[in-house]
Structure 1
Amino acid sequence: MNDKKIAFIYCVNNRALYEESVRYVKSLHVPEGYEIEFIAIESASSIASGYNQGMRQTDAKYKVYLHQDVFIVNKNFLYDIIALFEKYPKLGMIGVAGAKTVPKNGVWWESTQRFGKVYDSHTGEMKLLSFKDTELDYEPVQAIDGLIMITQYDTPWREDLFTGWHFYDLSQCQEFLLAGYDVGVVRQNEPWCVHDCGIVNVKNGFDDYRKKFIDVYGENVQSLNKKFSPTKNNKLFLVLTLHRSGSSATAGVMNLLGIDMGKNLLPASESNKKGHFENRDFVIKNEQILNSIGASWYNPPNKKRLLAVMINPQEIRYFLSKQVKPFWGLKDPRTLLTLDLWLPYLKEISDITYVFVSRPFEQCVRSLAKRENISLSDAVKILAPYLQNYYEYKETLTKNNEDVISVNFEELIEKPERFVSEINKRLGNPSLENIDKVREFLDKKLKNF
């Protein structure tokens, strides 16, 4: 094995793309005494078989398996990978994007523990795809994306199992992990690579290979998920609700039962005389998110606009770290608009119980129109997007077997026992503990229409 040699191994079906990728590699700074080699496997029956063929053709210690449409833009790429491998002998393979945990469906990019960054065009538009940053030299993960996979040891690719173009990468990650090596996503100040893949084709066997990956590696994946998942010694009760749905009463009950709704709460008002039980700082964060795209609680954005919001992950994590208690809650109707941005970070730090509060839509509309002194039609325009998101999130979270509590405002007022029991069960308390305090708190006269 030549430890002063780096081989770049490609499966090629487009010579123009391959040659462009090679030009980028040839522009990299090469450490003194090292040589680089290019191996192009054409007409491979699968990625795994092509990479096995390339691996057998070279004596290079370091191998870079990359797609023909990947362009390495980090000029110090070779210095960086060699330094990492020399410093960490246990590090078997690295990439630029991946996931610490793998969901049960095997699709790594649906994980809440994603790391890395790359310029990528899988949506049809070239843009920065950026996940969490790591403060380490590399973040140990279970999966790296196959756009580029860099190794210092050889492990055969499972061409016997993955005979096409999908899940060869996650399979190889598992093979390295089973062999006792680390797999990592490297720390990048700026993206190392551009991946000009275009819209990804997931119709050519993707689902079949996904199922095969789960069948072969599912048990090991779940075991590693437990190892890699951060310890969560707290529970968040996240209230998801329309405006004027009775969520203040619901959150008030949660607060009475021992859930910390926050220290800096919005004060009571004429329309909520017993309090909103909304964390003022959380409400401000939601307003800032909405305002950044010219939206507001009364001018709701669609999800596409919302996902264009650029948030600071470190700032969000710091904010949430200051809110966490053993049992804590967050309630703000705006969360139905911003949940997609919050959810990855909330899942990082807490087990979540989702509390869906409902009330007949026409009652919400009348109550909002009265509070804001607007027409019923204007109130409908405001609340309709909330209602759509409410049903979509409830369906998705229930389908994914998340912990969901549904509470109807009318039932809560008339018969609070069921909701009190559901909350106490999760707090580890007797079923109807504090029920008398709850009944005293729930004032039927304060319903707003």
Structure 2
Amino acid sequence: MIFSILITTYNRLNELKITLQSLEDFYIRNDVEFIICVDGSTDGTYTFLKENYPKIKLINHSKSKGLIASRNELLSLTKAKYAISLDDDANFLSDNVLESIEALFEKHPKCGLQAFSIYWDLEKPKNTLKHEKVERVKGFVGCGHVWNMEAWNSIPNYSVWFVFYGEEDFAAFQLFKKDWHIYYNPQVLVHHRVNIKQRSTQNDYATRLRRSLRSGWYLYFLFYPVKLIPRRVLYTLWIQLKTRVFKGNLKAALAIIKAIFDVLLNIHKLIKNSNRLSSKEFQEFSKLPSTKIYWKPNNSNS
């Protein structure tokens, strides 16, 4: 098997239906396998998949184990050479996706992972014009990427205790330590069907902020040279206080306090699992282009 498409889903059957419909051309190919983790869904997802997509391999959790644990499980099961990770609310917009992926891996033997070009919006872009190039980058985004499974099998699994946020950066640092490279592949365009602007007004805003902030601190303690950690932590804390708390954002204040306690509670794990970059390695890593998180088409107001 050359390709595997891995999806984890939780109570988003309608979104998953759209995603699977967009992947029908892949579903009928003999060199592609599908594995979906139904992570404790109660909306009939498992039954729907079993009845309508008999070729898909299914994992069915009776209770949700979380995104990271589900991704680890999916990656442990695939026998493919390359494993595509796609969110249940994401779909490809470009043509010749698999061919583009395979060509880049063959051209760059040290490529351990490819990061896709991701468009974040409920509606797809009006055009896909762009002038980006393939380049090595620091990291990748979880909703659309592909693993060289040789690279995945050479590093530790995603850290489940991160819960959400930071697991991709965790893997990126581990890849760097093993001399695997991450390449941004702009020829593979993913439409992530979410409204980013609405997230700050949703009920889980404080939870997302807490997890995002603590994951950054986790990464400092795990991978940064020791002498840089205090300054980095204090700087990020000051920025949060200045931009949120001092402006009266009480939800943010509570989230920051909880994030600090999360770090203290997990300090033993941070020490046990540390895999620090040397000063030279950190300088090399810092020179890499930043992770490409958002993409917008050229000549468009989208």
Tell me if both proteins adopt one fold, taking TM over 0.5 as the criterion. yes
Aligned to 1:228: 288
1:349-388 equivalences under 5 Å are none
Q: After superposition, what is the alpha-carbon deviation per residue over 1:267-308, rounded to whole angstroms, capped at 9, x for unaligned?
A: xxxxxxxxxxxxxxxxxxxxxxxxxxxxxxxxxxxxxxxxx9
Whether the aligned pair in 2 keeps the contact of 1:72 and 1:194 (CA below 8 Å) is: yes
Aligned to 2:22: 24
Aligned to 2:6: 9
Whether the aligned pair in 2 keeps the contact of 1:120 and 1:127 (CA below 8 Å) is: no
Aligned to 1:203: 206
1:45-444 equivalences under 5 Å are 45-96=65-116, 117-121=117-121, 133-135=131-133, 138-153=134-149, 154=152, 155-162=155-162, 164-188=163-187, 192-199=189-196, 200=199, 203-204=206-207, 205-219=211-225, 220=277, 222-228=282-288
Distance 1:194 1:89 in 2: 28
1:228 aligned partner, one-letter code: L
**TM-aligned CA distance change 1:94 to 1:129, over 3 Å:** farther
Distance 1:53 1:17 in 2: 22
Whether the aligned pair in 2 keeps the contact of 1:71 and 1:193 (CA below 8 Å) is: yes
Whether the aligned pair in 2 keeps the contact of 1:93 and 1:183 (CA below 8 Å) is: yes
**TM-aligned CA distance change 1:125 to 1:24, over 3 Å:** closer
Distance 1:171 1:88 in 2: 22
Local SS of the residue matching 1:55: helix
Q: After superposition, what is the alpha-carbon deviation per residue over 1:377-403, rounded to whole angstroms, capped at 9, x for unaligned?
A: xxxxxxxxxxxxxxxxxxxxxxxxxxx
Whether the aligned pair in 1 keeps the contact of 2:118 and 2:144 (CA below 8 Å) is: no
Whether the aligned pair in 1 keeps the contact of 2:26 and 2:32 (CA below 8 Å) is: no
Distance 1:35 1:89 in 2: 21
Offset at residue 144 of structure 1 (A)? 1.2
For normalisation by structure 2, the TM-score amounts to 0.58
RMSD: 3.3
Distance 2:123 2:34 in 1: 32
**TM-aligned CA distance change 1:57 to 1:67, over 3 Å:** same
Whether the aligned pair in 2 keeps the contact of 1:119 and 1:129 (CA below 8 Å) is: no
Whether the aligned pair in 1 keeps the contact of 2:39 and 2:66 (CA below 8 Å) is: no
Pick 1 or 2: higher relative contact order, CA cutoff 8 A, min separation 6.
2
Distance 2:127 2:213 in 1: 23
Distance 1:35 1:217 in 2: 35
Local SS of the residue matching 1:36: strand
Structure with more helix by fraction: 2
Offset at residue 91 of structure 1 (A)? 0.4
Structure 2 residue runs without a partner (length 5+): 41-63, 226-276, 290-295
Offset at residue 29 of structure 1 (A)? 9.3
Whether the aligned pair in 2 keeps the contact of 1:158 and 1:171 (CA below 8 Å) is: yes
Q: After superposition, what is the alpha-carbon deviation per residue over 1:119-167, rounded to whole angstroms, capped at 9, x for unaligned?
A: 212xx7765899x9544xx3111111111120112244322442x2211
Whether the aligned pair in 2 keeps the contact of 1:29 and 1:77 (CA below 8 Å) is: no
**TM-aligned CA distance change 1:129 to 1:195, over 3 Å:** farther
Distance 1:142 1:197 in 2: 24
Local SS of the residue matching 1:192: strand
Task: Give the percent of matched residue pairs that are identical in Structure 1 and Structure 2.
Answer: 15
Local SS of the residue matching 1:166: coil
Distance 1:92 1:30 in 2: 27
For normalisation by structure 1, the TM-score amounts to 0.40
Local SS of the residue matching 1:150: strand
Offset at residue 38 of structure 1 (A)? 2.8
Distance 2:35 2:168 in 1: 20
Whether the aligned pair in 2 keeps the contact of 1:29 and 1:76 (CA below 8 Å) is: no
Offset at residue 226 of structure 1 (A)? 4.1
Whether the aligned pair in 2 keeps the contact of 1:11 and 1:51 (CA below 8 Å) is: yes
Offset at residue 53 of structure 1 (A)? 0.6
Number of aligned residue pairs: give it.
203
Offset at residue 40 of structure 1 (A)? 2.3
Aligned to 1:38: 35
